[in-house]
Amino acid sequence: MAWDREPAWSQDGKDIAYASATSNGPPGIFLMNADGTARHTLTSGGDASPAWSPDGHKILFSCESNQISDICVVNADGTGRRRLTEEAAENHDPAWQPIIH
């Protein structure tokens, strides 16, 4: 079954990151313009729950590894993917710490 869910607006309101799966592929994080155009894959492989960084340059998300969910981060252009947690416990729904001045 295909689905699109968990939309997250970029800070400037120009883009939307969201989790999506098709009937022939694993879930991943996709990015599109706010008007629905220019949809493209940002990550794949069981990824979900995107959250934009306050500066709009990175996206946190839940990433699957060996049937366990960890937290990963990727640049908004899809480069520089890094795993931030590697635990035997489930890690879901990441969020950024607000900037406090």
Per-position pLDDT tens, the chain of length 101: 688 999 999 999 999 999 998 767 778 999 999 999 999 999 988 899 999 999 999 999 999 877 788 999 999 999 999 999 887 778 888 889 876 77
Query: What's the pLDDT at 23?
Result: 66
CA 67 to chain centroid, in Å, comes to 18
Q: CA 94, 97, 81 angle in degrees (round to 5)?
A: 50
Query: What's the pLDDT at 46?
Result: 84
Query: What's the pLDDT at 1?
Result: 67
**What residues have CB less than 8 Å from 65, skipping those under 6 apart?**
83, 86
pTM of the predicted model, to two decimals? 0.86
Sign of CA dihedral 12, 32, 79, 47: positive
